[in-house]
Amino acid sequence: MGEFRDLNDDYPGAGTFRLGDGPELCDQLTDLVIAGTKTATCGALRDYPEGDPGRPVVGRRDIATDWNGTPRVVIETTEVTERRFGDVPEEFALAEGEGRFAEWRDGHIRFFERNGGWSEDMWLLCERFRVVEVL
């Protein structure tokens, strides 16, 4: 059996997070990150108040887990911007790796409707990242 590795030693200050809002979506999105297809993500700004330790920070490394909390991949945030949903450029949406621009819009509208509401002028926290290590 392999030796236990404490990721906090390798990545001090790293937080953990899950993508999506359920096990199946979490697995799909995390697999896209690991494959290098997904290099961006966004969330409702309302979910990331100033000072929240879960808010992405440029240069910080964080650990994406599966739905059960098992570490899967370490990412490093390379850019954080705030913009309204209706102002998300196609290029950013495509970097999320979830299909064509129309598919991105439809999927995110459904996601935000399930998780607190959606509107064309809602503010998003948009993050770009790079994969540091697949675990």
Contacts of 29 (CB under 8 A, 6+ apart): 19, 20, 38, 41, 98
Tell me how far apart the alpha carbons of residues 114 and 11 are, in angstroms, rounded to a whole number.
Answer: 33
Contact present, 129 and 15 (Cβ < 8 Å) = no
In a domain, 2, yes or no: no
In a domain, 49, yes or no: yes
Tell me how far apart the alpha carbons of residues 127 and 97 are, in angstroms, rounded to a whole number.
Answer: 13
Q: Could you tell me which residues are beta bridge partners of residue 131?
A: 75
pLDDT of 93-127, one tens digit each? 999 999 999 999 999 999 999 999 999 999 999 99
In a domain, 42, yes or no: yes
Please identify every stretch of the chain with a pLDDT value under 70, giving residue numbers as ranges. 1-5
In a domain, 40, yes or no: yes
Q: Range of 57's domain?
A: 7-134
Q: What pLDDT score was predicted for residue 14? A: 86
Task: Count how many domains the chain has.
Answer: 1
Characterise 21 by phi-psi region: left (phi > 0), alpha (psi -120 to 50), beta (else): alpha
Q: What is the pTM of this model?
A: 0.86
Write the CATH number for 46.
3.10.400.10
